[in-house]
């Protein structure tokens, strides 16, 4: 069974990974690394530091070796840093360096959520997007800068101004739906919602139905890209338009 190791920051919406694993028939063992959960640049730089990510890889490898952190995992096919802001805050070149360090440490292909958004947009043939961010605007603009440097045209950006991941994790589905609907743009070919702290999987199909276009969310694209790094194409009608493409 395909196994994608997930390094997840603190606690917020990590329960989306076992939900997705059950729907897709894959393994998504998850370990945590910790910092403050503030959506602020200095804290995000610390959260995504080489030292913190090396700690996460170590925990995943210990799980594979039989430590009790994650049960029943025989191997890792890929590793994902399941954090958008803790990757794009390093800029376009820094995101690539971060992934290279993860790959070297884990010995398997690795990437971050920021890279997953770019890969997902490319797979859907999407060049123009709107962004519905939970972050304060000073952080959200760094995401749009990263997308622009990756060749994606951001036609609209909305920022909810939420200061911590814990607050984002507590948002109900109706609030997530409102955030999406309020920040779409007619010229956008897809809407991006970039925060792995946000619960989106259960409301994702309804958002796509309302908008009539693909919606890419952080935990969704992280799982999708990890599977593709592992050479696995899993199709599902439960995780948005992205997962309906082979």
Q: Does residue 245 lie in a domain region?
A: no
Q: How many other β-carbons are positioned within 10 Å of the β-carbon of residue 174?
A: 9
Report if residue 164 sits inside a domain: yes
Both 191 and 98 in one domain: the answer is no
**How long, in residues, is the chain?**
246
What confidence score (pLDDT) does residue 133 get? 97
Q: Are residues 98 and 171 in the same domain?
A: no
Residues 105 and 17 in one domain: yes
What local confidence, expressed as pLDDT, does residue 91 receive? 96
CATH number of domain containing 60 = 3.40.50.12500
Q: Is residue 213 located within the same domain as residue 146?
A: yes
Asked whether residue 54 falls in the same domain as residue 139, the answer is no
DSSP string computed for 178-192: HHHHHH--TT-SEEE
Residues 137 and 180 reside in one and the same domain = yes
- Asked whether residue 223 falls in the same domain as residue 213, the answer is no
pLDDT the model gives residue 66: 63
123 and 99 belong to one structural domain? no
* Domain-embedded: residue 135: yes
Other CB atoms within 10 A of residue 79 CB: 29
Q: How far apart are CA 37 and CA 217, in angstroms?
A: 19
Count of the separate structural domains present in the chain: 2
Residue 228 lies in domain = 4-113+219-237
Low-confidence stretches of the chain (pLDDT beneath 50): 67-73
Whether residue 244 lies inside any domain: the answer is no
Same domain, 105 and 80: yes
> 115-133: string of b/e by CB count within 10 Å (b at 16+)?
bbbbbbbebbebeebbbbb
pTM to 2 decimal places: 0.95
**Predicted local distance difference test score (pLDDT) of residue 69:** 44
Residues 121 and 100 in one domain: no
In a domain, 233, yes or no: yes
The answer on 96 and 197 residing in a single domain is no
pLDDT at 74: 57
Alpha helix segments (H runs only) across 2-40? 16-24
The reply to whether 144 falls in a domain is: yes
């Amino acid at each position: 069974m395909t196994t994608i190791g997930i390094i997840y920051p603190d606690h917020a919406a990590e329960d989306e990974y076992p939900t997705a694993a059950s729907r897709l028939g894959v393994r998504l063992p998850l370990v945590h690394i910790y910092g403050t959960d503030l959506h602020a640049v200095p804290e995000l730089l610390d959260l995504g530091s080489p030292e913190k990510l090396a700690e996460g890889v170590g925990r995943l490898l210990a799980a594979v070796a039989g430590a009790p952190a994650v049960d029943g995992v025989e191997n890792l096919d890929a590793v994902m840093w399941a954090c958008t802001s803790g990757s794009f805050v390093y800029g376009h070149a820094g995101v690539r360096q971060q992934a290279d360090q993860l790959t070297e440490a884990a010995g398997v292909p690795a990437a971050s959520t920021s890279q997953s958004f770019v890969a997902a947009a490319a797979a859907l043939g999407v060049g123009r997007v709107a962004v519905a961010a939970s972050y304060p605007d000073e952080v959200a603009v760094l995401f749009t800068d990263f997308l622009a440097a990756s060749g994606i045209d951001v036609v609209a950006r909305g920022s909810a101004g939420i200061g911590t991941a814990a607050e984002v994790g507590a948002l109900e589905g109706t609030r997530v739906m409102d955030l999406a609907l309020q920040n779409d743009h007619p010229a956008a070919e897809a809407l991006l919602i970039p925060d792995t702290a946000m619960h989106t999987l259960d409301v994702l199909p309804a958002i796509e139905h309302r908008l009539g276009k693909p919606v890419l969310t952080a935990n969704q694209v992280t799982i999708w890209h990890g599977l593709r790094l592992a050479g696995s194409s899993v199709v599902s009608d439960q995780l948005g338009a992205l997962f309906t493409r082979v």
